């Protein structure tokens, strides 16, 4: 029996060493070389750091990041872990620090949780600073005779709290967003349009306004946001008429899960329902781009230009984050020309573009959790 046990000891040692060496050999022979970019993670892979004796302390961390990112079959193994082990077998979020699984297949962005719960808080001076930044923007456009409108789409936790995981809570005393919005409403020089109630009203009608698997609103949500903005715009520009529901054809195709599913790379496992609202007899055409510089650090197109050619209507410029994509088709139809500037994180007045476009009105869209970006707090 001693001999048998010896043989198994050798076998275990060899197998263990082979397993370790398989990965180790890859570092020498590079039989597996990952791409520079991880598409589902939306990022570059870490690069091999340079050794610098004068600044040696960060080297180990940087090298480890590089090593981890280039671990053979990392993405495939992570997919297997996320899809099969976590999602299929354990029925849980593979990345609970990124995505929280709610009720009835609703998903929520975990990073927004402290803001929603009220654990993330800003002080009174910071609230004043945020509103002051918006005030500056409103003043800038007012001085140039440009009508300015501002909306802040709420995060979906606010609209669908019934689908949140039970463990989510609200701290007494409100959230940082509540404080900013309350202060914003006191500053009458900022033409803030509250779109939360119209979205809740639409939800009461049984219409989905946000995706189950995305942080963004769907076309219905965007439409009701648009309607509320149009009510105000119409007062300043009577020629603007909002599109009615009868102007659309609507379909609800089943699609692959959206951004919250994409960050987990579970698009092969989880689907969602889309809302496609197509404007009947659309007159909109894509205009020539001005090729304004892209926002630093962003790969998104900095600009979209759409026009109808109807010169009796005003020109609109929209400065926004990703919430612009849902709302674009509606504004496209009603204006002479619309220029959309993707400026998430900064939400600047984009002076050069304003001087170039000479809009009659400017709409600024800042996703509620991004409001604190205005004073340099990353969301």
Partner 1 sequence: MLFNSLIFIYLFLPLSLLVYYLADGRYKNLILLLSGFIFFAWGGISYSFLLIASTLINYAAGLLMAGTADKRKRKIILVSGILLNLFPLILFKYTGFFTDTLSVITSVFGVKPLTVAQFILPLGISFYSFKAITYLMSVHRDECPAEKNYIDLALFISIFPQVIAGPIDRYRNLAPQLKSRNYSFEMMASGIRRFALGLGKKVLIANTLGMAADEIFARSSANLSLPVAWLGALTYTLQIYYDFSGYTDMAIGLGRMFGFTFIENFNFPYQSKTVKEFWQRWHMSLSNWLRDYLYLPLAYSTSRKLKAYSYFGIRADYIIYIVATAVTFIVCGFWHGAAWTFIIWGMLHGLFLIIEQLGLRKFLKHRIALLQHAYLLFFIVVSWVVFRSSSLDSAVHYIGIMFGLGTAPARMDIVLEFLNPGFIAAFVIAVAGSTSLFQNLLTLSVRSRDLKTKAVRALSVHFFEISIILSILFVLAISTLFILAGTNNSFIYFQF
Of the candidate residues 234, 267, 322, 336, the single one contacting partner 1 (CB under 8 A): 322
The answer to whether residue 244 forms part of the interface with partner 1 (CB under 8 A) is no
Q: Which stretch binds partner 1 (CB under 8 A): 34-42, 147-155, 189-197, 285-293?
A: 34-42
Q: Which of 35, 143, 167, 204 binds partner 1 (CB under 8 A)?
A: 167
Residue choice 38, 234, 336, 346 for contact with partner 1 (CB under 8 A): 38
Region from 77-85, 123-131, 220-228, 333-341 binding partner 1, contact rule CB under 8 A: 77-85
The residue from 32, 42, 283, 309 that contacts partner 1 (CB under 8 A) is: 42
267 contributes a contact to partner 1 by CB under 8 A? no
- Residue 107 or 357 having the CB closest to partner 1: 107
Q: Which of 30, 47, 48, 92 binds partner 1 (CB under 8 A)?
A: 92
Asked whether position 172 contacts partner 1 by CB under 8 A, the answer is: yes
165: left (phi over 0), alpha (psi -120 to 50) or beta: beta
Pairing of strands 107-109, 337-342: unpaired
Q: Which of 33, 52, 125, 166 binds partner 1 (CB under 8 A)?
A: 166
Write out the binding residues for partner 1, residues 337-366 only, by CB under 8 A.
344
| Residue 34 sits in the site that holds partner 1 (CB under 8 A) | no
For the CB of residue 201, give the shortest distance to partner 1 in the complex, in Å: 28
Q: Which of 31, 89, 125, 205 binds partner 1 (CB under 8 A)?
A: 89
3-state SS, the chain, equals: CHHHHHHHHHHHHHHHHHHHHHHHHHHHHCCCCCCCEECCCCEECCCCCCCCHHHCCHHHHHHHHHHHHCCCCHHHHHHHHHHHHHHHHCCCCCCCCCEEECHHHCEEEHHHHHHHHCCCCCCHHHHHHHHHHHHHHHHHHHHCCCEEEEECCCCHHHHCHHHCCCCCCCCCCCCHHHHHHHHHHHCCCCCEECCHHHHHHHHHCCCCCECCCCCCECHHHHHHHHHHHHHHHHHHCCCCCCCCHHHEEEECCEEECCHHHHCCCCCCCCEEECCEEEECCCCCEECCCCCCCCCCCCCCCCEEEEECCCCCCCEEEEEECCCHHHHHHHHHHHCCEEEEEECCCCCCCCHHHHHHHCCCEEEEECCHHHHHHHHCCCC
If one asks whether residue 276 binds partner 1 (CB under 8 A), the answer comes out as no
Which CB atom, from 86 or from 350, has the smaller least distance to partner 1? 86
Confirm or reject binding of residue 41 to partner 1 (CB under 8 A). Answer: yes
In the region spanning residues 284 to 303, those forming contacts with partner 1, defined by CB under 8 A, are 297-300
136 forms part of the interface with partner 1 (CB under 8 A): no
Binding residue for partner 1, selected from 34, 62, 74, 191, defined by CB under 8 A: 74
Pick the closer one to partner 1 by CB: 82 or 277: 82
According to CB under 8 A, which residues from 182 to 241 bind partner 1?
215
């Amino acid at each position: 029996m001693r001999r048998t046990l010896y043989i198994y000891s050798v076998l275990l040692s060899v197998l263990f060493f082979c397993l370790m060496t398989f990965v180790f050999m890859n570092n020498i022979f590079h039989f597996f070389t990952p791409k520079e970019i991880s598409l589902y993670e939306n990022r570059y892979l870490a690069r091999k750091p340079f050794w610098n004796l004068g600044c040696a302390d960060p080297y180990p961390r940087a090298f480890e990041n590089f090593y981890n990112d280039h671990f053979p079959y990392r993405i495939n193994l992570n997919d297997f872990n996320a899809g099969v082990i976590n999602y299929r077998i354990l029925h849980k979020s593979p990345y609970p620090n990124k995505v929280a699984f709610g009720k009835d297949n609703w998903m929520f962005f975990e990073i927004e949780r402290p803001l929603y719960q009220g654990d993330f808080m800003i002080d009174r001076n910071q609230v004043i600073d945020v509103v002051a930044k918006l005030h500056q923007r409103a003043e800038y456009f007012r001085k140039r005779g440009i009508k300015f409108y501002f909306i802040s789409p709420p995060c979906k936790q606010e609209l669908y709290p019934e689908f949140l995981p039970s463990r989510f809570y609200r701290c007494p005393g409100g959230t940082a967003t509540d404080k900013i919005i309350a202060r914003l409403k006191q500053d009458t020089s900022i033409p803030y349009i509250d779109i939360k109630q119209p979205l809740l009203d639409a939800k009461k009608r049984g219409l989905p306004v946000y995706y189950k698997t995305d942080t963004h609103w769907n076309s219905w949500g965007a439409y009701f946001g648009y309607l509320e903005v149009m009510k105000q715009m119409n007062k300043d520009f009577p020629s603007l008429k909002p599109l009615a529901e009868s102007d659309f054809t609507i379909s609800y195709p089943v699609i692959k899960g959206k951004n919250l599913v994409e960050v987990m790379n579970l698009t092969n496992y989880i689907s969602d329902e889309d809302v496609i609202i197509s404007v009947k007899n659309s007159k909109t055409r894509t205009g020539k781009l001005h090729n304004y510089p892209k926002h630093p650090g962003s790969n998104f197109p900095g600009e979209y230009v759409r026009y109808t050619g109807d010169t009796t209507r005003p020109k609109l410029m929209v400065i926004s984050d990703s919430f612009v994509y849902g709302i674009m088709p509606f504004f496209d139809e009603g204006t002479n020309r619309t220029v959309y500037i993707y400026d998430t994180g900064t939400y600047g007045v984009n002076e050069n573009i304003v001087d170039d476009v000479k809009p009659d009105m400017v709409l600024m869209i800042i996703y509620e959790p991004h409001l604190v970006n205005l004073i340099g707090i990353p969301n």
